[in-house]
Chains A and B, each alone.
Chain A
Amino acid sequence: MRYEAPLSVEDAVAALAGQSGAHVLAGGTDLLVKLRSEMIEPEVIVDIKRIDGMKDIRAEEGGWRIGAAVSGAEMSEHEALVADWPGVVEAAGLIGSTQVQGRATLAGNLCNASPAADSVPAMVAAGAVARIVGPNGTRDLAVIDVPQGPGKTALEPGEFIASILLPARGQRSGDAYLRFIPRTEMDIAVVGCGISLSLDEEDRVTAARVSLGAVGPKVMLVEKAAEAIKRRVLDEAALDDLAAACSKAATPIDDKRGTVDFRRHVAGVLARRAAVIAVNRAKGDTA
């Protein structure tokens, strides 16, 4: 195995190119576990942290561009980002321990392509877009389209994610992410739910995106859940419909972390709770 720490995107792409066993290292909190357990035996590991811009959080057209090597802890410490996308930042902040927060990244969480990845439902709800660089140049791909199944991504050989864009959104908008875990910390989500929504002056939902994690082979955007609450004030009846839509959309499995029935039910519970938080945040925007 070789370790390379290129200083430019071009060098990184070159290092990755032509290597079937090449792996990108950003925060490393998944990669090193796989390396250790011999799940992977890379030819080369390409550390992208020394590339210019990878550690940056930059405002871009009213949204935020987050470099691929920005850690969860760095996001949590960025007040303007937290103010705009509290749900995404909180979701990233749920990944692992304080120690893991010092390293783990949005891009890494996404590329690990686990259906239970905490930050991915939040990014999907946010309508985030991944900027991918590779031998054929740069392309943008919606975050929802990056995972293709457990452990599989839409990235071509030699490509890597350079940054993630959290787009601009209007006034009276809010987002939230909640997950269920057996303990209070340190677990993988049994169910996760992200919601991003906007309200009009009468508190009716004008736009909504609802996503679920850990209830299917990949994170899912639940259009029917969003439809269930659009143009409505989120009263009990609307929340019931939201919860029902999420429970219905969930296609989970029984495994060591939870049962099918439990995950279906809790998907609805979390959607309700996340929606209430998101609405409060949306109202807080204009308060």
Chain B
Amino acid sequence: MVEVVLWGSLADQAEGARKVEIKAATLRELLDGLGEKFPGLRPELKRGVSVSIDGRIYNDSWFQPIAPDSEVVLLKRLKGG
């Protein structure tokens, strides 16, 4: 299981939990698992999110491995200029 930290207002869509546990070994499994476990998160996941894994930020790499002890933080989709 991977512990995922949600941002504040996202917790409202995940039954109030700021930290949730998902069974996932990759980024794709993580995002799929989040949507399955917390349907309230689906609109935000559909709009796109970024994910910080051990301090590095990932956007779309489905098969980015995630270790069970990784620090995983969901972020709003980052946009630059």
Direct contact of A and B (CB under 8 A): no
Which residues of A line the B interface, CB within 8 A? none
